[in-house]
A = this chain, B = another copy of it.
Amino acid sequence: MGEEIRDPLTLEDVARAAGVSRATASRALTGSDTTSTPARQRVRAVAERMGYAPNPLARALAGGSGTRVVVAVAGPRPDVLEDPYMWRVLGATAAVCDGAGVGVSLQWLPLDAPASLGRLAADRSVRGVVLCNTTEPLLAAVPDVLRGRVASIGIGSAAVPSFDVDNASGAAAVVRHLHSSGRRHIAMLTGPSWLPCSWRSVEAYRSTVEAAGLPARILPGDFGFEDGRSGALEALHRWPDTDAIYAICDTVAFGAIVALRGLGVDVPDDVAVAGFDDVPAAAWAGPALTTATHPVSRIAAGAATAVLNEARVPSATWYPSELVLRESA
């Protein structure tokens, strides 16, 4: 195995080398309190030169701040964690937190047990919380002590800033494209009804089709491939004249395409299919999927940054979604 590791420097070492007390060194480094300019500069220079890195643990214990940011995913069952989307959120959160020596955790938040947020709040090892799939009851149950160090990917509240894709305009753009390319019977395959952040897409769909004088045809489901499959079948059964399907996400769109193919229905000639997310596979599929972008990593990074820095942020931050025209619609 490799070279010897020298014992990590402590604040004491830096303070001594700079000829000040540990307290002053701490103040100089954190900027938490006033220090004379020369002292501050000297301490900082010494710390830099020695390659001092504060121990995040000691900092957190003394400051009462915690060393991990928890990505808490609401849902009816723990399997909401078995989701590539959540892993991606976790990865982006980890990237942001790593610089501060802060780790991340992934936890299931039972929809019917908002009290579990209390556990998170009481856990001194928790630095902050990024909520996913947030619902109103959950938002209402966010403890006061979490204020400033909680953010939501999804809906927010006065106390919980939200970060999300602007799915309203993304959905509207997709539906308008469907309409402008001649489709007149557009069905939407949507997500689970308990999930508020999918409501915005539905509302955008509804108002867009209605503005165009078209009927609104909405089928609830979930975010899986099978949901797309059964949803498409159901749509064609209920409304045989359907000539376009807008799916809440790309995975559902893939399911719809496979179901249509199985029926001998051509995509896009007979029925156009569009999704949402622009996952990598959307570009590879045959036919390549028309969809709208979903900057998941940027959204998660935004939420994580707000939580980590306890920054005052706008109560809602919307990330733009862009239409991606391909072959399926």
Q: Which residues of A contact B (CB under 8 A)?
A: 1-6, 8, 53, 55-58, 60-61, 66-69, 81, 84, 86-88, 90-91, 94-95, 97-98, 101-107, 114-115, 117-118, 121-125, 140-147, 159, 225, 251, 254-255, 258, 261, 280-281, 283-286
Task: Determine the residue in chain B with the shortest Cβ distance to A140.
Answer: B2
Known contacts A1-B159, A87-B90, A251-B280; 10 further A-B pairs (Cβ under 8 A): A1-B141, A2-B118, A5-B121, A5-B122, A5-B144, A69-B103, A81-B95, A86-B91, A98-B105, A255-B284
**A55 contact from B101, B124, B145, Cβ within 8 A:** B124
Assembly of this chain: how many copies?
A: 2
**A125 contact from B55, B106, B255, B261, Cβ within 8 A:** B55
**A105 contact from B88, B97, B143, B284, Cβ within 8 A:** B97
The reply to whether B91 and A81 contact each other, CB–CB distance below 8 Å, is yes
Alpha-carbon gap, A53 to B121, bound state (A): 13
The reply to whether B88 and A3 contact each other, CB–CB distance below 8 Å, is no
Task: Determine the residue in chain B with the shortest Cβ distance to A141.
Answer: B2
Greatest chain B CB density within 10 A among A6, A105, A117, A125 is at: A125
Shortest distance from the beta carbon of A131 to any chain B beta carbon, whole Å: 13
Given contacts A8-B123, A143-B5, A147-B1, contact A105 B114 (CB under 8 A): no
Alpha-carbon gap, A158 to B172, bound state (A): 58
Greatest chain B CB density within 10 A among A4, A5, A8, A115 is at: A5
The reply to whether B104 and A105 contact each other, CB–CB distance below 8 Å, is yes
Alpha-carbon gap, A284 to B258, bound state (A): 7
**A67 contact from B4, B68, B94, B255, Cβ within 8 A:** B68
Alpha-carbon gap, A203 to B104, bound state (A): 38
The reply to whether B87 and A98 contact each other, CB–CB distance below 8 Å, is no
**A57 contact from B106, B107, B125, B140, Cβ within 8 A:** B125
Alpha-carbon gap, A64 to B159, bound state (A): 37
Shortest distance from the beta carbon of A73 to any chain B beta carbon, whole Å: 11
Shortest distance from the beta carbon of A133 to any chain B beta carbon, whole Å: 16
**A107 contact from B98, B142, B144, Cβ within 8 A:** B98
Shortest distance from the beta carbon of A44 to any chain B beta carbon, whole Å: 20
**A103 contact from B104, B144, B283, Cβ within 8 A:** B104
Given contacts A88-B84, A103-B69, A255-B284, contact A118 B1 (CB under 8 A): no
Shortest distance from the beta carbon of A65 to any chain B beta carbon, whole Å: 9
